[in-house]
């Protein structure tokens, strides 16, 4: 999305600022990586798309997201290619992967 006067007006509006604050307060952890604190709010329906402006202030089409994941999501929207998100060693150490039991597809009766 190109930055223009309409975008500047929208992102500085009281309606957007209140909605953004509300979203970040309700979802303080990134909804993509579930590790980093969310610092940004991402429109899952890009403002530049056909229905973007209609959904610009729709809480249900927003994601609380960290900077790195937001960059990755934006790159994907623009190029269709997934970007890798860098995590610090501390974040990796705190990551709790799914247990083996929930991912093990072998059963005793097979």
Q: Residue 102: inside a domain, yes or no?
A: no
Q: Residue 77: inside a domain, yes or no?
A: yes
Q: Residue 23: inside a domain, yes or no?
A: yes
0.85 cut: is pTM over it? no
Q: Residue 108: inside a domain, yes or no?
A: no
Q: Using H for helix, E for strand and C for coil, what is the string for the chain?
A: CCCCHHHHHHHCCHHHHHHHHHHHHHCCECCCCCCCECCEEEECCCCCCCCCCCCCCCHHHEEEECHHHHHHHHHHHHHCCCCCCCCCHHHHHHCCCCCHHHHCCCCCCC
Number of domains in the chain: 1
Q: Residue 101: inside a domain, yes or no?
A: no
Q: Residue 103: inside a domain, yes or no?
A: no
- Domain of 9, in residue numbers: 5-94
**Band (62; pLDDT cuts 50, 70, 90):** very high
Question: What digits encode the pLDDT tens for the residues 2-61?
Answer: 556 777 889 999 999 999 999 999 999 999 999 999 999 999 998 888 888 899 999 999
């Amino acid at each position: 999305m190109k930055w223009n006067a309409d975008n500047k007006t929208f992102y500085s509006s009281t309606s957007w600022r209140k909605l953004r604050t509300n979203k970040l307060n309700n979802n303080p952890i990134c909804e993509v990586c579930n590790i980093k604190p969310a610092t940004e709010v991402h429109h899952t329906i890009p403002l530049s798309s056909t229905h973007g402006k209609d959904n610009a202030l729709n809480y249900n089409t927003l994601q609380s997201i960290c900077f790195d994941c937001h960059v990755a999501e934006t790159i994907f929207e623009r190029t269709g290619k997934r970007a890798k998100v860098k995590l610090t060693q501390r974040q990796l150490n705190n990551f709790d992967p799914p247990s083996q039991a929930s991912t093990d597809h072998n059963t005793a009766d097979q």
